Amino acid sequence: MKFYYLTLIFFLSLCDDIIKAQNRYDSPAEAPIINTYVPMSHEEIMCIAMATAWKDRQAQESFEKHSQTAYYYLQKKRIHFFISYANAALDTGYYNMQLYYNLGISYWLLGQQRKGKKFLKKASKKGFMEANRALFAIKKKEALSYSWFIL
């Protein structure tokens, strides 16, 4: 029994050395550390802030322009144009709960029920009560029509 313990200890001590030195390429090479970080100056920070503010202002103006055009086409009952302009307005990063609601109704009227429910649920989550009413009507299998739009 002692013999087995001694051989076990001997082989365990060998394994430790074998694992440490499998080959000479296991250890990473010594490389010099070159720090290239240069902090931004106050002028650069202000320039970035002004560019961000300008970009946000442009996005908001674009949202307003696209949403006005979308509602123009919705009044003319041209749903396809409404959807394209409403999606362009939402691509700016801004949103409107009423726009989500009207998009949901539009998709539902065009036969794309999944997309319609998705947008109605978004409007409902944002707190738009008419979206809850439309979802309840869909659940009760009522027919939606143009009268459901809010202009």
Give per-residue pLDDT as tens, 29-74. 677 788 788 888 999 999 999 999 999 999 999 999 999 999 999 9
The average pLDDT across 20-34 equals: 66
Judge if pTM exceeds 0.75: no
CB under 8 Å, gap of 24 or more: what pairs does 109-114 form? Answer: 109/79, 109/144, 109/145, 109/146, 110/79, 110/80, 110/83, 113/138
58-145, superfamily in CATH? Tetratricopeptide repeat domain (1.25.40.10)
Residues in the chain: 151
Confidence band, pLDDT 50/70/90 cuts, at residue 14: low
Confidence band, pLDDT 50/70/90 cuts, at residue 19: low
Whole-number percent of the chain with pLDDT over 90: 36
Considering the chain, what is the average pLDDT of its residues? Answer: 83
DSSP conformational letter for 92: T
Is the pLDDT score of 150 beyond 80?
no
Confidence band, pLDDT 50/70/90 cuts, at residue 18: low
